[in-house]
């Protein structure tokens, strides 16, 4: 979730880097930003829907509803959450590398990258374990009592945690808190020293 | 005397002269570190991970869920 919309001159932006440092033109940058924001917000919404399914499955005494909710979670996870998380990661990396922000120069970009990577890895691992549960639910001959026994708080815990970290990443992307990494400070120093003084002519 | 931009009074680039990480970064690192340690403790203590392992699901249900 690195909405690295380069805006040189803003208080939190890399205002002293030369204008040629960005690699994307304005149109390309806006296109990538639109795609990145779309998949990021889509991911957040999909996690909210996943959480609703998880809460429904955990709290219901209707075996059909429980079975349906877990199967829907499995499908949603692999066909919506994973593609969106990977798309968010890829577009975020492209967006940051193609703008003045850079991938490793600002703490907020680095933090959103780590959050995105971690969330994606945990998501894939979690869906593997969820698959064990849905595998049992797909098996024939499982009576209602056995289905209700399989109700599990784990999807609620994972989805709630995902919602919190994705909201945190969204907040970081919007606020863009100040702070450069050491690498970013070295880059900034080199960029500043490359600009000739205004009164040198 | 030239007015220094807030938070940029020292020039980076030389050893020991980097701006320190902001407080929000340190808070995030501490919280993230605690979560990782908690997760590792849970794994090493045999708690396992995934459906049925988070909040003490009945053993019968865990057995039913395992392949």
The answer to whether the Cβ–Cβ distance between A107 and B25 falls below 8 Å is yes
Nearest CA in chain B to A184: B12
- Which of A171, A170, A192 shows the shortest CA–CA distance to A180? A192
Nearest CA in chain A to B50: A129
Contacts of A128 in chain B (CB under 8 A): 50
The answer to whether the Cβ–Cβ distance between A177 and B22 falls below 8 Å is yes
> How far off is chain A from B63, nearest CA to CA, in Å?
10
Q: Is residue A46 part of a domain?
A: yes
Does residue A106 sit in helix, strand or coil?
A: strand
Q: Is residue A15 part of a domain?
A: no
For residue B10, the model assigns a pLDDT of 46
Question: A131-167: buried (b, 16+ CB within 10 Å) or exposed (e) per residue?
Answer: bebbebbeeeebeeebbebbbbbbbbebbebbeebbe
Beta bridge partners of A106: A180
Q: Is residue A181 part of a domain?
A: yes
**Residue A51 is part of which domain span?**
26-189
User: If you write DSSP's letter for every residue of A156-195 in order, what string do you get?
Assistant: HHHHHHHHHHHHHHHHHHHH----B-HHHHHHHHHHHHHS
Q: pLDDT > 90: what percent of chain A? A: 68
Q: Is residue A163 part of a domain?
A: yes
Determine contact: B33 vs chain A, CB below 8 A. no
In this prediction, the answer to ipTM > 0.85 reads no
Q: Is residue A72 part of a domain?
A: yes
The DSSP output letter for A77 is I
Q: What is the pLDDT along chain B (67 residues), one digit of tens a residue?
A: 333 343 444 445 455 578 899 999 999 999 999 998 988 888 888 766 666 554 444 444 445 544 4
Determine contact: B62 vs chain A, CB below 8 A. no
Q: Is residue A21 part of a domain?
A: no
Domain count, chain A: 1
What is the spatial distance between Cα A197 and Cα A194, in angstroms, rounded to a whole number?
Answer: 9
Nearest CA in chain A to B18: A182
State pTM to two decimals.
0.77
| Chain mean position to CA A26 | 24
Contact between A109 and A102 (Cβ < 8 Å)? yes
> How far off is chain A from B59, nearest CA to CA, in Å?
10
- Please give the torsion angle defined by the CA atoms of residues B10, B11, B13 and B18, in that order, rounded to the nearest 10 degrees: 20
State yes or no: pLDDT of A3 exceeds 60.
no
| Chain mean position to CA A73 | 19
């Amino acid at each position: 979730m690195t909405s690295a919309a380069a805006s040189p001159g803003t208080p939190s932006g890399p205002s002293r880097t030369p204008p040629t440092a960005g690699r994307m033109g304005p149109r390309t940058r806006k296109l990538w930003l639109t795609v990145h924001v779309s998949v990021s917000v889509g991911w957040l919404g999909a996690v909210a829907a996943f959480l609703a399914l998880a809460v429904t499955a955990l709290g219901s005494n209707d075996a059909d509803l429980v079975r349906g909710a877990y199967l829907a979670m499995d499908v949603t996870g692999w066909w919506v959450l994973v593609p969106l998380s990977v798309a968010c990661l890829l577009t975020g990396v492209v967006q940051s590398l193609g703008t003045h922000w850079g991938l490793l120069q600002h703490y907020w970009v680095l933090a959103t990258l780590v959050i995105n990577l971690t969330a994606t890895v945990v998501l894939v691992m979690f869906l593997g374990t969820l698959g064990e549960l849905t595998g049992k639910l797909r098996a024939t001959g499982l009576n209602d009592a056995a289905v209700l026994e399989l109700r599990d708080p784990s999807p609620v815990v994972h989805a709630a945690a995902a919602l919190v970290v994705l909201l945190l990443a969204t907040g970081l992307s919007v606020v863009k808190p100040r702070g450069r990494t050491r690498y970013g400070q070295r880059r900034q120093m080199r960029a500043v020293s490359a600009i000739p003084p205004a009164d040198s002519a | 005397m030239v007015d220094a931009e807030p938070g940029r009074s020292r020039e980076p680039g030389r050893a020991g002269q980097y701006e320190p990480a902001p407080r929000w970064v340190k808070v995030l690192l501490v919280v993230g570190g605690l979560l990782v340690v908690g997760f590792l403790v849970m794994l090493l203590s045999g708690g396992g991970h995934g459906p049925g392992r988070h909040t003490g699901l009945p053993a019968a249900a865990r057995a039913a869920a395992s392949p």
